[in-house]
Amino acid sequence: DGGITQSPKYLFRKEGQNVTLSCEQNLNHDAMYWYRQDPGQGLRLIYYSQIVNDFQKGDIAEGYSVSREKKESFPLTVTSAQKNPTAFYLCASSITAGGRHEQFFGPGTRLTVL
């Protein structure tokens, strides 16, 4: 079955540590996205990538970094510079850029900073 996988489902981090969240898709989609979800705030875009080896900052990129070395993979690193990283993180993909293609979402990773 085609889809998007995110791992781990739950992640705990100590303050000052960097952590990397995994996102893999086998839908052959060109575009991939990372969102952060906090209660009452909907989804906010962190980074997106329209093609391999290229990515752009979203609305809340500070304290995060990404890479897109393979079409299937778009890992997100939450760095120690992110002041309030505890949140639910969602990865998504779409066929291509252009606005009229729906995004497909993974199951999410819940990150908790201890």
Is residue 52 involved in binding other proteins (CB under 8 A)? no
Interface with other proteins in residues 84-103 (CB under 8 A): 88, 90, 92, 94, 96-103
Query: Among positive and negative, which fits the CA dihedral 66, 90, 104, 57?
Result: negative
- When the beta carbons of 48 and 72 are compared against other proteins, the nearer one is 48
- 4, 23, 46, 113: residue in contact with other proteins (rule CB under 8 A): 4
Encoded one letter per residue, x for contact with other proteins by CB under 8 A and - for no contact, window 54-73 reads --x-x---------------
- Most distant CA pair in the chain, distance: 40
48 binds other proteins (CB under 8 A): yes
Contact 101/94 with Cβ under 8 angstroms? yes
Q: Tell whether residue 5 is a contact of other proteins (CB under 8 A).
A: no
Q: What angle do CA 35, 39, 45 make, to 5 degrees?
A: 15
**What is the chain's percent helix, strand, coil content, to nearest 5?**
0, 50, 50
Single out the residue of 2, 42, 83, 114 in contact with other proteins (rule: CB under 8 A).
42
